[in-house]
A = this chain, B = another copy of it.
């Protein structure tokens, strides 16, 4: 499902440990990729990435100005371009982080069983997803937006989604009897629901309690996947 042309980013320093989200980001990709960052430099890089998330959150990717990011990061324009070759470049760095974490998360999804344990496992996983989502939602949103994709992010973006879905599809396929004809489509539907609901929850389009949200999502999904209803 992933696109073969992944690897475009080869050459750039890859992340080693992505446990601590934004604060651990190391992906640089600045104009001089080879630059080795000292602790000072790493701090500045982190400041910029964190600031970008904040600004993307406030104004969205398009409306975010380099100026805003730089102001929030308490640094200068010049410095920005010391670390990133462009606004897009920074975005790509962020997206690489998110992608990695999302794929890792998708692999954490346990087999989903029909019983209470399966339900609970699903719910627990959703909670993790939501945690990730709420941290990175400005990036994820921008990424979902095709407008951004235009700028060669396809190679990266689609890959992320692909990788993420691979994990889910595997689990849906395991379900027996198959609840739907096409597990791939079902997995996509799951992703759609979870992603968008998370979005609604994050932006508080309607106030929702975390617990209620998780219960509802888990119930609908679990029922949806296992509910062999008698339709007569």
Contact = CB atoms under 8 A, between A and B. Distances in A.
Copies, count: 4
Given A147-B63, A188-B200, A226-B229, A216 B182 contact: yes
Contacts of A225: 220, 223
A186 B115 CA distance: 21
A8 interface: no
A195 B144 CA distance: 13
A38 interface: no
Interface residues of A, number: 65
Nearest to A183: B216
Interface in A177-232: 179-182, 184-186, 188-190, 192-193, 195-197, 199-200, 203, 205-206, 208, 212-213, 215-217, 219-232
A197 B186 contact: no
27 contacts: A1-B158, A1-B162, A3-B154, A60-B150, A63-B149, A114-B230, A116-B231, A116-B232, A141-B145, A145-B145, A148-B203, A158-B205, A180-B220, A181-B216, A185-B208, A185-B216, A186-B220, A192-B193, A192-B199, A193-B197, A219-B224, A220-B224, A222-B229, A223-B226, A223-B229, A224-B224, A226-B229
